[in-house]
Amino acid sequence: MSIATPYKYAPIVEAILKPVLVLNQRGVIVFANKHFCELSGYSILELRTHNLSFFIPDSQHDILDNFIDELGDTDRVELNCSFQSKAGKAIKLHFEFGMFHDSKDTGFLGTVVAKKKKKEEKGFYKHKFELATKLAIMGVWEADLKTDKVDWSGAIYEIFEMSSRQKAQPLNKLSFFNKRDKVFLKEHWDKLCNEGVGYNLELPITLESGNKKWVRCIGKARKRGKKIESVFGSVQDISKVAKERLKLQQLTNDLSRQKLQMEQFNQIVSHNLRSPIANIGLLLNYYESSGDKEEREQYIKYLKQSSDGLHQMLEDLVDAVKILNTKKISTKKVNIATLFNKVVKLLSTDIATKKANITLNNDGWNEVDYAPIYLESILMNLISNSIKYSKEDEAPKIEVSTKKEGKRFLLIVSDNGIGIDLKKHGQIIFKLHKSINKSNAGKGLGLFMTKQQVEAMGGVISVDSELGQGTTFTIDLLKYRL
């Protein structure tokens, strides 16, 4: 035979730093480099012309026969075997054989890539691996794309609370995932098997027992060249991590909510106290400048009403501070008639000065589940706004009405004031520090604060107005809470 005179390849094979054997297609050794000779104890002359089976125990000849059969069918073959050294010692070796050609013949060059691990050593590492996956609550899986066979480690069965007798299958075929996630998994599975694109997903599952978990699913492809031979990956129970992450998100949401409530509380304090305090100051001026006894007694009556109203507002603000420490905005049944009368008393001086006519029509509903301090602030802002932007030559007429549409509670405040040019100011009417009337400039806080409070309670506010035709504000109090 010979493989084109074996020595022809000697310089190349000798240059390889690992032990190397060269076989022909019948499994006969035709050359070995010095590293293999040192490992086995044989010289090149002693190795040559012997079939590989000469150096392998009879008990492993079946493995060798399969190996020889594969040599002619593929360009790369692996071989795990015990090789009998010249000293009589069995050396456990792992070969990787690759095919090479010349003009006359074909041969196989086998490189020793690792000594075969002892059973005890393999058992030790297997134990360590199983312990690590158990501590991490993680299992591994592998799928052979040729046979469609899927294997799971024991930990995956434990995570899914399944019997080890049940058949392993691709994750996207399991009923534990919801429909949307199963489609999502199927898309990733197809990309993994067809294109080798890996995935790393965190998904919720509901097991047959009703237990809910979060799992991290990882998939990777094992390739030989461009061909995908198999896919493998892991499933890890991350329920504890997900739970802590959810707690952290809830804490973040609570802090954001408390920050918003604190801002709104500060706005209420600074804005809503202004009117009753201004009323008291104005009444005191009237009282001091009046020389009429009956008139002064009337002013004292108004001062007491304003003082009582201010005291009640301070009490409400103290209650509001308690809201800031709760997980959600506290609500209770609020009587609109009672609240309306309270607001009218607080604004009594402004109402008397402008000779305003303010009425309540509560035929739609009389009670609503709401945060009292918010509803009072909303009503006070809208009524005081109507008084503030009334016509110079016409007494203000303001109607507060309620309307119920199915489960929706509407609060409507209408006036006959100067109105608003919505084409010009519609986009800024509820913005902070945006005044829509230069002749009666304000800080633009009232309507901004009203909108913030309405939306914080799950509602929505809208406005309908024309210049000279008055304004109507409509609040759907519970729109997003139904």
Residue whose C-alpha is closest to residue 20's, from 5, 33, 7? 33
pLDDT value at position 4? 39
pLDDT value at position 363? 93
Chain centroid to Cα 384, Å, comes to 44
Q: Which CATH number fits domain 120-237: 3.30.590.10, 3.40.50.11030, 3.40.50.1000, 3.30.450.20?
A: 3.30.450.20
Instruction: Locate the DSSP E strands across 406-470.
Output: 408-415, 460-465
User: Hey, what CATH class is 6-116 in?
Assistant: alpha beta
| pLDDT tens digits for range 317-360 | 665 555 455 556 778 999 999 999 999 988 888 898 899 999 99
CB 407 within 8 A of CB 477: no
Other CB atoms within 10 A of residue 315 CB:
10
CB 355 within 8 A of CB 393: no
Give me the sheet containing 106-115, strands edge to edge. Answer: 29-32, 20-24, 106-115, 90-101, 76-84
CA–CA–CA angle 440, 444, 446 (5° rounding): 105
Whole-number Å distance between alpha carbons of 451 and 459: 9
Q: Which of 138-152, 240-254, 379-393, 441-455 has the lowest mean pLDDT?
A: 441-455
| pLDDT tens digits for range 19-61 | 988 888 778 888 888 999 999 999 988 888 788 888 888 888 8
pLDDT value at position 5? 43
Give every CB contact of residue 136 below 8 A, 6+ residues apart in sequence: 236
Structure-derived torsion over alpha carbons of residues 42, 47, 52, 55, reported in degrees to the nearest 10? -30
pLDDT value at position 403? 95
- For residue 471, report the phi and psi dihedrals to the nearest 5 degrees: -140, 145
| pLDDT tens digits for range 79-130 | 888 888 888 888 888 888 877 765 556 677 888 875 544 454 445 445 544 5
Question: At residue 381, what is the residue type?
Answer: N
* Mean residue pLDDT across the chain: 81
Residues forming beta bridges with residue 84, ordered by sequence position = 90
Alpha helices (runs of H) in 205-238, residue ranges in sequence order: none
How sure is the predictor about 271, in pLDDT bands with cuts at 50, 70 and 90? low
Model pTM greater than 0.75? no
| In the chain, domain spans | 6-116, 120-237, 251-481
pLDDT value at position 187? 92
Based on the number of CB atoms within 10 Å of its own CB, is 264 exposed (0-12), middle (13-18) or buried (19 or more)? buried
CB 176 within 8 A of CB 160: yes
CB 395 within 8 A of CB 355: yes
pLDDT value at position 378? 92
- For residue 358, report the phi and psi dihedrals to the nearest 5 degrees: -120, 125
Name the percent of the chain lying above pLDDT 70.
Answer: 80
Structure-derived torsion over alpha carbons of residues 289, 293, 296, 301, reported in degrees to the nearest 10? 180
pLDDT value at position 328? 62
Residue whose C-alpha is closest to residue 108's, from 47, 39, 27, 1? 27
β-bridge pairing 90-101 and 460-465: unpaired
CB 423 within 8 A of CB 463: no
pLDDT at 160 over 80: yes
Residue whose C-alpha is closest to residue 451's, from 360, 357, 378? 378
Give me the sheet containing 149-152, strands edge to edge. Answer: 149-152, 138-144, 227-237, 212-224, 199-206
Residues forming beta bridges with residue 402, ordered by sequence position = 411
Q: What is the three-class DSSP state of 97? A: strand
pLDDT at 468 over 70: yes
pLDDT value at position 261? 62
CB 375 within 8 A of CB 339: yes
**What number is the average pLDDT over the span 413-418?**
95
Instruction: Locate the DSSP E strands across 243-366.
Output: 332-335, 357-361
CA–CA–CA angle 376, 384, 372 (5° rounding): 0
- Looking at per-residue pLDDT, the higher value among 448 and 144 belongs to 144
Whole-number Å distance between alpha carbons of 182 and 3: 56
CB 238 within 8 A of CB 215: yes
What homologous superfamily is domain 251-481 in, according to CATH?
Histidine kinase-like ATPase, C-terminal domain (3.30.565.10)
Q: Do domains 6-116 and 251-481 have the same CATH topology?
A: no
Other CB atoms within 10 A of residue 185 CB:
21
CB 212 within 8 A of CB 243: no
Residue whose C-alpha is closest to residue 432's, from 288, 264, 277? 264
Residues forming beta bridges with residue 227, ordered by sequence position = 224
CB 6 within 8 A of CB 30: yes
**What number is the average pLDDT over the span 67-80?**
74
- Helix 372-388, helix 239-272: angle, nearest 10: 40
Q: What is the three-class DSSP state of 85? A: coil
